[in-house]
A and B are shown apart, each in its own frame.
Chain A
Amino acid sequence: MTNQDIIARVNAIMSEGFEIPADQLKPEATLFDDLGLDSLDAVDMLVSLEDNVGIRVDSEQLKTVRTMQDIYNLVGNLVAKSEATH
């Protein structure tokens, strides 16, 4: 999965699951302050990422996420690890 694929998947989840307009999904956008998400959304986002991308995210890892770029990086790393073991 390329970086572009990952960004597209994550952005689709944010648009469809959390109704965030595509033009707000910038790498530097912060999830809570800029995009208006909260801790309850973060849990559902984690589940959506797991179901849609086929990765397992440790909830501790999620606590370090602040921006959209952080999500792209987290998902990218987990996908890379997963692909390396297959």
Chain B
Amino acid sequence: MKVYITGMGTVSSLGNTVPEMFSSLLENKTAVRRMEGWENYKGLNSYVGATVPQYDIMRVPRTARRTMSPMSEMATLATMEAIRQADVSIGNGQSTPRVLMCLGSTTGSPENFETYFKKIIERGGPEGQMGTTFFKVMNHSVNANVAAALGFKGAALSPSSACSTSAQSMIMGWELIQSGMYDIVIAGGADELHYTSTSVFDIVMAASRGYNDRPTETPRPFDVKRDGLVVAEGASVIVMESEASAKARGIRRLAEFCGGAYICDGAHMSQSNKFNMLDVMKATLERAKINAEDIQYVNAHATGTVQGDAEEAQAISEIFGKNVPVSSLKGHFGHSLAACGTLEVISSVQMMNEQVLIPTRNLTEIDPACTGIFHLQEKKSFPTTKVMSNNFAFGGMNTSLIIGASGD
């Protein structure tokens, strides 16, 4: 059974709708900037980040907003955009047993965790805690808040695997639609920028430290002068739908979701390696029943870390050699963690449908450790019908997926 993408929505560092975001990408913009005041956090060395433009959440009722941190607000707006495009009838309390909502985040709201525990420690107990705070820090806060905001009544799952969260959401969606359990899956992820998120990467020396005074020059995926990733925020959501459902509704199919795989390498919490990346890319080709020769573009995870980028370049090289254009979008968006997988799928769908490929921003001198692949260093008009997109996360959570032109 074929699965299609029929709706897309985003609140991203480069725009709060899909058209705005993609327009910024085409202009090769970056959202990375120096974060004011971050130099005051003891032990933090990376002061760069990428926040989203101001958005309007006031159209969501107060009773839904009161339990939302920014990640749930962004996810709600992205979901509204996606379901509007897909023109699916969900919400307002009507039962939708054939629809799954599958949205996740890395953690609950970091900012609210901080204020919650700070007060606990100051007061010596729970005195003075707001009743609404906990609903911002649950592992499924994003999914639950979006469901409450829309009045969605149906199955909801909240995958959580850090930077591969939304990739897992989509691949699970593909699996579950294929299984016949659901006709429609609303899949994606969200995360908000907070200094504690950047700290996690900074502590393990994976965050960019050397460009605090030149923020637009980092991250630098595959570049010889790359020094780490830059954390971003945002939410990205797609509507996935069975072929039968899309045809019955007569809705335009934006792309086919051809398949994907997620494999935990069970090897190392923070260090990725090319062999495990290769495993998941090969498994993806196999599951999607697509030959490597049919892939015309690879959207790399490449976040700008010294080790991860080199390992991924080598893994891609093993399969595709120098034949297939490769780029990473982290130099534009920063790394939006749980949202990035879906954000990169949405970007890839737009690239495929507009027959253009976006290059890797800030890649000026290819690192010798990242050679062996066809690096895109400038925008290219290029027709593609099959795209592979990779995402790798802490915990050895490796994912890869393939999307294809829908023919519509």
- List chain A positions with a Cβ less than 8 A from chain B: 18-19, 36, 38, 40-44, 47, 50-51
Contact = CB atoms under 8 A, between A and B. Distances in A.
Given A38-B63, A43-B130, A47-B131, 11 more contacts: A19-B62, A40-B67, A40-B131, A40-B132, A42-B131, A43-B131, A43-B132, A44-B66, A44-B130, A44-B131, A51-B128
For the complex of A and B, the 3 pairs showing the least CB-CB separation, nearest first, are A43-B131, A44-B130, A19-B62
Q: Is the interface of A mostly helix, strand, loop or mixed?
A: helix
7 contacts: A40-B66, A40-B67, A42-B131, A44-B130, A44-B132, A47-B129, A51-B128
Contacts of B128: 47, 50-51
Interface of B: 62-63, 66-67, 128-132
Contacts of B132: 40, 43-44
A44 B132 CA distance: 7
Q: Is the interface of B mostly helix, strand, loop or mixed?
A: loop
Contact of A18 (B62, B129, B130, B131): B62
B68 to A, nearest CB: 13
Contact of A47 (B62, B67, B130): B130
A27 to B, nearest CB: 23
Contacts of A19: 62
Nearest to A18: B62
A18 B67 CA distance: 12
Contacts of B66: 40-41, 44
B305 to A, nearest CB: 41
Nearest to B128: A47
